[in-house]
Structure 1
């Protein structure tokens, strides 16, 4: 049965700020969802954009009753940015399930049905899989970074160890969202997806991961190193607030080469041999992700990923500890 009482089945919530270059691609993919239109609503929250985002959305949805756009001009309960938008959209939503994707994401037509299949009676949140559009080597390495992290997340999820949520491909039940008081009770965080995920898990709800090709969403990649640094400044906030195992893995992966070199001073180990073994381990996991998710265009990126990982990890640590503001979507946090 697709409807429960007067409620529809699914509400898709999209926060958008200054997304004139991406929003139409996102809306096109949402319009192509293979799900009964009478049982889905798609609500876009325009976060007071100062570009053509609102105009483009209005033009696209005018003859599509399942879409709705709300202009967000006020702050709710001290919230800011994306968390503020999603908090207000949740009160507009009528679905039993809240699905989240970003404005620079394109979803697959079967996204909704495939994610719903992972919900059980006790499940509060389901995490999907995201990669970048295949446009250049940096994009492929970023895709590999996502798939590597999500493969690790999938592994730990088998033991019911929560690692993180993903605001660009995640679904929660209405019951779970309001059981924790929504974003108003969680409070502001620049990594709102992680705080929502952990809040639901800590409330006692089960979590599942939809680790399969059918739910993979495609994101627009960072195209410059400067853009990447700004994004990672924000992400590092989430890592430092996350599960201890996530923090430990970041420090180990970022500092593994100097750590091995230092250890070799006091212990009889061959640092070069250890580094080669570490490369084989990381590359093996990367290729496993490529094979399991059938993302075969990323095999070259999988072979190069170790070099990217040890480099970007160290850069992220240095960038995080530099005394500078986190800037995202034209706002300082």
Structure 2
């Protein structure tokens, strides 16, 4: 690491609410990063947790001065939830770069240095990579979904077409964050990562995609289908607010198979051939993703991913339009 990089000050910002099952894993991984501790601060914002999150964090950091714990007890600019926590943490942070990860994430030792390396003079935001912990088939399909989406984002980023941010693995410059007025100016959104990302891009800053295994973080997966539906209800708000390319991709991937099956009533060979070609295309992209990102344990999920994708896309659309509230971290929005 060069002398100039040793002077860089990094702030890692973590919003935590009722994360007693995950927070120690996250903090342990952050404590192991290969970045000078004297140039690093890791700030955990406790969003009114009513479990053992506060106790676990404070016990972990008591002999680690580069960690800070902050209890979030007030509201900024009518913000709620994670957006409010991150807005508070930005004012406590002293770094030139703000790196974001979730409390259920484990980062690699190379995460900070590799994310920092993607910042160029005009770059305001860098998007990293995330997959799920290898625990069961649903987790592997979710990992494949993340890597497929991130690979698609990588493709569009080569043409400077912004898609979305990823709040569990993202970085912004301090300059860019405060240039857009922070979360206070952006306003509340249940998909705060998208609003931050798009706000920085619309301010005229460049964005980069850190598409390499060294920045790939590991998240805890949802373990049941009802949990997945709750998660996707929130995510769909972000999709529907995003660029037309993202919205179009969702509708096409969700409806193309039902449409082909209807066409097959009159033209069976052509329609079924299209479905087979679609499967080959999606599976090919999936396999390429796990090869480029060196995730060989997902090869079985790559061959099954198409079936999952065409099903979950349709389910997400139906679930989004159903008249129900969005529940996130025990709160209704």
Name the CA distance, whole Å, in 2 between partners of 1:196 and 1:262.
41
Are the structure 2 counterparts of residues 3 and 293 from structure 1 closer, same or farther at C-alpha, using a change threshold of 3 Å?
A: closer
Which residue is equivalent to 1:45? Answer: 45
Name the CA distance, whole Å, in 1 between partners of 2:325 and 2:52.
27
Q: Are 1:2 and 1:39, in contact at CA under 8 Å, matched by a contact in 2?
A: no
Residues 122-161 of structure 1: CA deviation (Å, up to 9, x unaligned)? 0000000000000000000000000000000000000000
Name the CA distance, whole Å, in 1 between partners of 2:191 and 2:148.
20
Is the counterpart of residue 132 in structure 1 residue 129 in structure 2?
A: no
How far the C-alpha of 1:101 sits from its partner, in A, is 0.1
Name the CA distance, whole Å, in 1 between partners of 2:51 and 2:116.
34
Q: Are 2:13 and 2:101, in contact at CA under 8 Å, matched by a contact in 1?
A: yes
Which residue is equivalent to 1:173? Answer: 173
Which residue is equivalent to 1:112? Answer: 112
How far the C-alpha of 1:9 sits from its partner, in A, is 1.1
Which residue is equivalent to 1:235? Answer: 235
Query: Does 252-261 or 274-283 show the bigger shift?
Result: 252-261
Residues 203-238 of structure 1: CA deviation (Å, up to 9, x unaligned)? 000000000001000000000111111000000000
Q: Are 2:15 and 2:85, in contact at CA under 8 Å, matched by a contact in 1?
A: yes
How far the C-alpha of 1:2 sits from its partner, in A, is 4.2
Q: Report the 3-state secondary structure (helix = DSSP H, G, I; strand = E; otherwise coil) of the residue aligned with 1:18.
A: coil
> Superposition pairs for residues 64-75 of structure 1, below 5 Å?
64-75=64-75
Name the CA distance, whole Å, in 1 between partners of 2:239 and 2:266.
31
Is the counterpart of residue 282 in structure 1 residue 282 in structure 2?
A: yes
Residues 82-102 of structure 1: CA deviation (Å, up to 9, x unaligned)? 000000000000000000000
Q: Are 1:19 and 1:53, in contact at CA under 8 Å, matched by a contact in 2?
A: yes
Name the CA distance, whole Å, in 2 between partners of 1:74 and 1:259.
50
Query: Does 251-260 or 237-246 show the bigger shift?
Result: 251-260
Which residue is equivalent to 1:21? Answer: 21
Name the CA distance, whole Å, in 2 between partners of 1:107 and 1:99.
11
Which residue is equivalent to 1:254? Answer: 254
> Superposition pairs for residues 133-152 of structure 1, below 5 Å?
133-152=133-152
Which residue is equivalent to 1:319? Answer: 319
Name the CA distance, whole Å, in 2 between partners of 1:294 and 1:72.
39
Which residue is equivalent to 1:203? Answer: 203
Q: Report the 3-state secondary structure (helix = DSSP H, G, I; strand = E; otherwise coil) of the residue aligned with 1:270.
A: helix
Which residue is equivalent to 2:78? Answer: 78
Residues 48-72 of structure 1: CA deviation (Å, up to 9, x unaligned)? 0010000100000001000000001
TM-score of the aligned structures, taking structure 2 as reference length: 0.97
Residues 259-285 of structure 1: CA deviation (Å, up to 9, x unaligned)? 123345677861111100000000000
Name the CA distance, whole Å, in 1 between partners of 2:164 and 2:149.
10
Which residue is equivalent to 1:291? Answer: 291
Name the CA distance, whole Å, in 2 between partners of 1:139 and 1:132.
6
TM-score of the aligned structures, taking structure 1 as reference length: 0.97
Name the CA distance, whole Å, in 1 between partners of 2:314 and 2:323.
16
Q: Are 2:264 and 2:272, in contact at CA under 8 Å, matched by a contact in 1?
A: no
Runs of 4+ in 1 over 3 A off after TM superposition: 262-269
Name the CA distance, whole Å, in 2 between partners of 1:172 and 1:286.
28
Q: Report the 3-state secondary structure (helix = DSSP H, G, I; strand = E; otherwise coil) of the residue aligned with 1:95.
A: coil
